[in-house]
Amino acid sequence: MRIGFFTDTYTPQINGVVTSILLFKHALEALGHEVYVFAPDPEDQDDGDVTVRFPSMRFAFQPEMRIATPTSLEAVRLLDEVELDIVHSHDPFSIGLFGLRVARRHKIPYVHTYHTLYPEYVHYVWETRLTRKLAETLSRGFCQACDSIIAPSSKVQDYLRKWGVTVPIEVLATGIDTDRYAVRDESRIDALRQRLGIAAEDRVLLFMGRLGREKNVEALIRALWHCRCANAKLLIAGDGPHRPELEDLVTELGLRKRVAFAGYLKGPDAVAAYHAAHVFAFSSTTETQGLVIGEAMAAGLPVVAAQDAAVEDFVVDGETGLVVLGRPEDLADGFDALLDDEELRLKFAAASANRAARFSIRNQTQQLLAHYEHGIATYEPKKRRIPRLEFPRSRSGKP
């Protein structure tokens, strides 16, 4: 099968969307399928893993992101030669819209993975009730123009239906490279602990992810302050625009000796961080899946997480971890419950690894292929126009 991935988010960015695309791309290619990636050009050297790079510029409100030019003669020529069987987009922006035009022109199915709950991210531009409603309206309009939607969690499916999306939706989480995260490298773990100042007696709470306001890492720092376990240490592996404020909070609470900022950890170092920890800590309630939770579970980590529908697709409360209210006091109680009871912690750890196996990249890729095959078999060429944008109105009827 010849598959086109169209995305406005790709390497060298580091986030869940990029991880999802790479995992599925490599798994599909390992099964003999051809995957063509269309993505923005980076500022640094190209990684050589992309079929076509679109000219782009930094997004002013979020410099990690790129805004791409929505046309490419190179892409058009290639697509005329390749004859894709299906188009799969991962963003509803310029390259995603380019992919929609490709699907219409070549009369092939257009699948979209709705990775991000965009109303939760309007604070990067301008957060008001109107802009949140506008993000919902744009999401609905784009999804209605697709042939089918992949939702990474039941939470996403529920939101899309609530917003009025009527096209077929399948809940299909991104797969986890369980083999990779299951392997311990003791020498690398020791080196990482030494570099980050983690002592042998420290009980490590790990957060892995982008440091944006929506991740609510502040709650984890405040939870550490409430923690009864004197040896508890929070390892924050990630980076992003909210990091300076988080560092200020750590200083304000007098926790500088108990919090380590590692920055982004890549490859084997990221795996080592999971194995260096005792509990995975997660307080975001804006996730569409929380891919890092699956990675942590594959490494045999129990999870303490704030209540959220996306998290609960992975974490079974009282079996693979603890799902608590998102207040710092409640998170701290969850941390203490596992750090004070090693037998319980190890029981949850084993159950986490077993559950993560259900979400292996092999299993999830087979489901993705079945989605593609069904879409191709049932496809009927039709015009799918993005509905005209209507601004939300107040009760008085005025915009």
**pLDDT digits 0-9 by tens, 248-257:** 999 999 999 9
Using DSSP bridges, classify how beta strands 110-113 and 86-89 pair: parallel, antiparallel or unpaired. parallel
Q: How many residues does the structure list for the chain? A: 399
Q: How far apart are CA 358 and CA 293, in angstroms?
A: 14
Amino acid at 25: K
Buried b (16+ CB within 10 A) or exposed e, 168-202: ebbbbbbbbbbeebbeeeeebbeebbeebebeeeb
- Residue 368: CB atoms within 10 Å: 23
| CA 137 – CA 35 distance, rounded (Å) | 31
* Whether 227 contacts 299, CB under 8 Å: no
10 near 18, Cβ under 8 Å? yes
Instruction: Please name the helix (run of DSSP H) or strand (run of DSSP E) that holds residue 357, with its range, or none.
Output: none
Backbone angles phi and psi of 43, in degrees to 5? -80, -35
Q: Please give the pLDDT value at position 65.
A: 65
pLDDT of residue 395: 41
Could you report the per-residue pLDDT of 272-302, keeping only the tens digit for each? 999 999 999 999 998 888 899 999 999 999 9
What's the pLDDT at 173? 95
Question: What span, in angstroms and rounded, lies between the C-alpha atoms of 347 and 320?
Answer: 8
**Listing from the earlier edge strand, what are the strands of the sheet with 203-208?**
259-261, 232-237, 203-208, 279-282, 303-306, 321-324
Q: Using an 8 Å Cβ cutoff, are 261 and 236 in contact? A: yes
Predicted local distance difference test score (pLDDT) of residue 48: 63
Q: What is the pLDDT of residue 63?
A: 57
Quick check: 161 and 169 in contact, CB under 8 A?
yes
* 129 vs 132: CA distance, rounded Å: 5
Name the amino acid, one letter, at 278: H
pLDDT for residue 46 is more than 90: no
Looking at residue 51, what is its pLDDT?
A: 83
Residues 230 and 22: their CA atoms lie apart, in Å, by 40
Q: Is pLDDT of 28 > 90? A: yes
Distance between CA atoms of residues 166 and 243, nearest Å:
39
Using one digit for the tens of pLDDT, what is the confidence trace for 357-376?
999 999 999 999 999 999 99
Question: Highest-confidence range of 11-15, 49-53, 201-205, by mean pLDDT?
Answer: 201-205
CA atoms within 13 A on the CB side of 5: 28
Averaged confidence pLDDT in the chain: 90
What's the sign of the alpha-carbon dihedral 352, 183, 187, 243? negative
Average pLDDT of the segment spanning 313-321: 95
pLDDT at residue 297 in the model: 98
Residue 390: what residue type?
A: E
Rama region for 397: left / alpha / beta (φ>0; ψ in -120 to 50; rest): left
Domains of the chain, first to last:
2-175+362-378 (3.40.50.2000), 178-359 (3.40.50.2000)
Q: Give strand ranges (E) for 263-339.
A: 279-282, 303-306, 321-324
pLDDT per position as a tens digit, 170-211: 999 999 999 999 999 999 999 999 999 999 999 999 999 999
DSSP-derived secondary structure for 253-315: TT-TTTEEE-----HHHHHHHHHH-SEEEE--S--SS-HHHHHHHHTT--EEEE--HHHHTT-
Strand 62-68 versus strand 56-59 pairing type: antiparallel
Q: For 93-102, what is each residue's pLDDT tens digit?
A: 999 999 999 9
Q: What is the mean pLDDT of residues 60-84?
A: 80
Tokens of 40: 């923005």
Which of 62, 90, 16, 23 shows the shortest CA–CA distance to 284? Answer: 16
What pLDDT, on the 0 to 100 scale, is given for residue 98? 94
Check residue 119 and give its pLDDT.
79
